[in-house]
Amino acid sequence: MNTSTLDARDKSRIETTSTASALMANEAQLSGKPPKGYWHNVGNKLRHDWVALTTMTILGLIVLAAIFAPWITPHDPYQASMLDRLTPPAWASRGTAEYLLGTDELGRDILTRLIYGARVTLLMSISPVLMALMIGGTLGLIAGYAGGKINMCIMRLTDVFYAFPSILLAVAISGAMGAGIVNGVFSLTLIFIPPLARITESVTTKIRNEDYVQAARATGAGTLTIIRVHVLGNVLGPVLIYASSLLSVSIVIASGLSFLGLGVSPPIADWGLMLNALRESIYVAPINAALPGVIIFITCMSFNLLSDSLRSAMDVRL
Amino acid sequence: MFSYILRRVLYTIPIALGVTVICFLLVQLGPGDPINALLPEEATQEMIDQVKAEYGLDKPLPVQYATWLGHALTGDLGTSIATGRSVSTEIFSALGNTLMLAFGGMLVSFVVGLTLGSIAGSRQGTLSDRVVTGFAVTGVSVPHYWIAIVLVAIFAVGLHWLPAMGMGPRGSTGFALDWAHIQHFVLPIFALSLIPTGIIARSVRGSVSETYGQDFVQTLRAKGMPERQVFVHVARNACSAAIAVMGLQMAELLGGSILIETVFVWPGTGQLLNNAIFMRDLPILQGTILIMALIFVATNLVADILQALIDPRIRR
Summarised one tens digit per residue, pLDDT across range A147-169 is: 888 888 888 888 888 888 888 88
CA distance B227 to chain A (A): 29
- A256 touching chain B per CB within 8 A: yes
CA distance B174 to chain A (A): 25
Q: Which residues pair with B86 in a beta bridge?
A: B79
Summarised one tens digit per residue, pLDDT across range B101-154 is: 888 888 888 888 888 888 888 787 778 788 888 888 888 788 888 888 888 888
The pTM of the full predicted model, rounded to 2 decimals, is 0.82
**What is the pLDDT, as a whole number, of residue A95?**
66
* DSSP 3-state of A75: coil
Burial code (b: 16+ CB inside 10 Å, e: under 16) for B111-149 equals ebbbebbbbbbbbeeeeebeebbebbbebbbbbbbbbbb
Number of Cβ within 10 Å of residue B260's Cβ equals: 27
Q: How confident is the model at residue A131 (pLDDT cuts 50, 70, 90)?
A: very high
* Rg of chain A taking only CA atoms, in angstroms: 25
> How far, in Å, CA of A131 to CA of A2, rounded?
47
**What is the pLDDT, as a whole number, of residue A20?**
47
> How far, in Å, CA of B66 to CA of A88, rounded?
58
- Say which of A248, A282, A308 has its CB closest to residue B157: A282
Angle at which helices A166-177 and A232-259 cross, to 10°: 60
- A165 touching chain B per CB within 8 A: yes
> How far, in Å, CA of B252 to CA of B200, rounded?
11
Nearest partner of B148 among B140, B158, B156, judged by Cα: B156
> How far, in Å, CA of A252 to CA of A300, rounded?
7
Which chain B residues contact residue A308 at CB under 8 A?
A: 137
Residue in B with minimal Cα distance to A254: B143
Q: Is B76 left (phi over 0), alpha (psi -120 to 50) or beta?
A: beta
How far CA B277 is from CA of A295, B120, B201, B289, in Å, comes to: 28, 43, 35, 12
User: Is residue A9 over pLDDT 50?
Assistant: no
Q: How confident is the model at residue B176 (pLDDT cuts 50, 70, 90)?
A: low
8 Å CB contact of B256 and A167 = yes
Which chain A residues contact residue B293 at CB under 8 A?
A: 163-165, 168
* DSSP 3-state of A253: helix
Number of Cβ within 10 Å of residue A121's Cβ equals: 30
Of the ranges A67-76, A255-264, A284-293, the best mean pLDDT one: A255-264
- The better pLDDT of the pair A13, A254 is held by A254
**What is the pLDDT, as a whole number, of residue A33?**
58
Nearest partner of B58 among B40, B81, B37, B34, judged by Cα: B34
Given CATH 1.10.3720.10, say whether it is the number of domain B2-20+94-315.
yes
**What is the pLDDT, as a whole number, of residue B170?**
61
User: Is residue A135 over pLDDT 90?
Assistant: yes
- Say which of B18, B29, B137 has its CB closest to residue A160: B18
Number of Cβ within 10 Å of residue A188's Cβ equals: 28
8 Å CB contact of B293 and A163 = yes
Nearest partner of A199 among A248, A250, A237, judged by Cα: A237
Summarised one tens digit per residue, pLDDT across range B206-234 is: 888 888 888 888 888 888 888 888 888 88
- Say which of B21, B31, B258 has its CB closest to residue A171: B258
Question: Residue A318, class by beta-carbon neighbours within 10 Å (0-12 exposed, 13-18 middle, 19+ buried)?
Answer: exposed
User: Is residue A317 over pLDDT 60?
Assistant: yes
User: Is residue A129 over pLDDT 90?
Assistant: yes
Give the torsion through C-alpha atoms of B3, B4, B10, B12, to 10 deg. Answer: -160
Which chain A residues contact residue B141 at CB under 8 A?
A: 248, 297, 300-301, 303-304
- A317 touching chain B per CB within 8 A: no
Number of Cβ within 10 Å of residue A97's Cβ equals: 6
**What is the pLDDT, as a whole number, of residue A103?**
74
Summarised one tens digit per residue, pLDDT across range A14-59 is: 343 344 444 454 555 555 556 667 778 888 888 888 888 888 889 9
Region A202-218: mean pLDDT is 84
HEC states along A177-211? HCCCHHHHHHHHHHHHHHHHHHHHHHHHHHHHCCH
8 Å CB contact of A177 and B138 = no
Rounded percentage of chain B residues whose pLDDT exceeds 90: 0
**What is the pLDDT, as a whole number, of residue A127?**
93
Q: How confident is the model at residue A133 (pLDDT cuts 50, 70, 90)?
A: very high
Task: Choose the mutation target among B33, B149, B254, B295 for the interface with A, i.e. most A CBs under 10 Å.
Answer: B149
Q: Which residues pair with A103 in a beta bridge?
A: A109
Summarised one tens digit per residue, pLDDT across range B5-27 is: 888 888 888 888 888 888 888 87
8 Å CB contact of B22 and A160 = yes
Q: Which residues pair with B79 in a beta bridge?
A: B86
Region A131-143: mean pLDDT is 91
pLDDT averaged over every residue in chain A? 79
**What is the pLDDT, as a whole number, of residue A280?**
78
Instruction: Report residue A304: phi and psi, to 5°.
Output: -65, -50
DSSP state of A84: G
- Say which of A261, A275, A287 has its CB closest to residue B146: A275
- A232 touching chain B per CB within 8 A: no
